[in-house]
Amino acid sequence: MNKIPKKAVKKVEVNRLHILEKELDSIFQNKKLLFQAFTHSSYVNEHRMKSVESNERLEFLGDAVLELTVSRFLYEQFPNLPEGELTKMRAAIVCEPSLVNFANQLKFGDFLLLGRGEDQTGGRKRPALLADVFEAYIGALYLDQGIENVISFMEKFIFPKIKTGAFSHVMDYKSQLQEFIQKDNSRQLEYVIVSETGPAHAKVFVSNVKLDHEEIGTGTGKTKKEAEQNAAAMALAKLNKL
């Protein structure tokens, strides 16, 4: 087991990372990789450590591993989603705001190793640092335990958010539905706004989507477009069960 050099780090900091390992149920064989993943360059500079690197290189690797694992998940989870929509959804999942949310969910900021100045000026809550440490952790986990364990981590903490619709705002359900039925060009989709209620500043629209004149989905929304998207989403859920 590769241990962290004793002269390089305070004992309390090592113990905190042990706590994180237990919370994530992922024990590292190479402790130096875990330590490096949470080490900001300000910490390295302040302690003048030659035996420990900052997390910048792991961040580079983790970025690529994230893209791969998320791409694989989306490819398998949405078999009827076209390439353009898969790309948009992946971009929404691996963008900085999403990575910050993931890091906050896992309380990664509490475990960051920062220089005193960076810490005192709010580094633990700085979005760029949180996104970086999440990518660095993924890179470290990949090197220590391989791609399948990274996927297991993602399945436990990240993929459920996608399944429950946390990124549905980037989905174009109308395009998905069109792609789903386009194998048979003879079939026809039609969207119909069946009601419009409420005052001008707070209208509610209801849309039906029909396939060959048969209703297959209904949706509501604050705009006609939103109502149609929700109708398409219902239709897709129905058709995928057939």
Radius of gyration, alpha carbons of the chain = 23
Is 179 one of the annotated active-site residues of the chain? no
Strands, sheet with 189-197, edge to edge from the N-terminal-most edge strand? 189-197, 204-211, 214-221
pLDDT tens digit sequence for 17-57: 889 999 999 999 999 999 999 999 999 888 776 677 899 99
Model confidence at 150, pLDDT cuts 50, 70, 90, reads very high
pLDDT, position 192: 96
pLDDT, position 180: 82
pLDDT tens digit sequence for 122-147: 989 999 999 999 999 999 999 999 99
Is the distance from CB of 229 to CB of 175 less than 8 angstroms? no
- Dihedral sign for Cα atoms in the order 64, 67, 69, 71: negative
Mean pLDDT along residues 96-101: 92
pLDDT, position 14: 64
Is 63 one of the annotated active-site residues of the chain? yes
Residue 110 has pLDDT above 50, yes or no: yes
pLDDT, position 12: 47
Q: Residue ranges per domain, the chain?
A: 6-169, 172-240
> Residues 63, 85, 132, 144: which is the catalytic one?
63
Residue 5 has pLDDT above 80, yes or no: no
- Cα angle 182, 186, 187 (rounded to 5 degrees) comes to 65
Domain 172-240 matching CATH 3.30.160.20: the answer reads yes
pLDDT, position 227: 86
CATH class of 6-169: mainly alpha
> Residues 59, 132, 135, 144: which is the catalytic one?
135
Is the distance from CB of 34 to CB of 53 less than 8 angstroms? no
- Dihedral sign for Cα atoms in the order 151, 153, 98, 54: negative
Model confidence at 205, pLDDT cuts 50, 70, 90, reads very high
Query: Coil, helix or strand for 199?
Result: coil
For residues 187-216, one letter each, b for 16 or more C-beta atoms within 10 angstroms of the residue's C-beta and e for the rest, the string is eebebeeeeeeeeeeeeebbbbbbbeeeeb
Mean pLDDT along residues 206-211: 94
Q: The pTM is what?
A: 0.70
Residue from 19, 16, 15, 52 nearest 37 by CA: 52
Query: CA-CA distances (angstroms) from residue 23 to 13, 126, 198, 213?
Result: 16, 23, 49, 53
pLDDT, position 242: 60
Query: CA-CA distances (angstroms) from residue 114 to 9, 166, 184?
Result: 12, 31, 59
When mean pLDDT is compared across 7-16, 64-73, 112-121, the lowest value belongs to 7-16
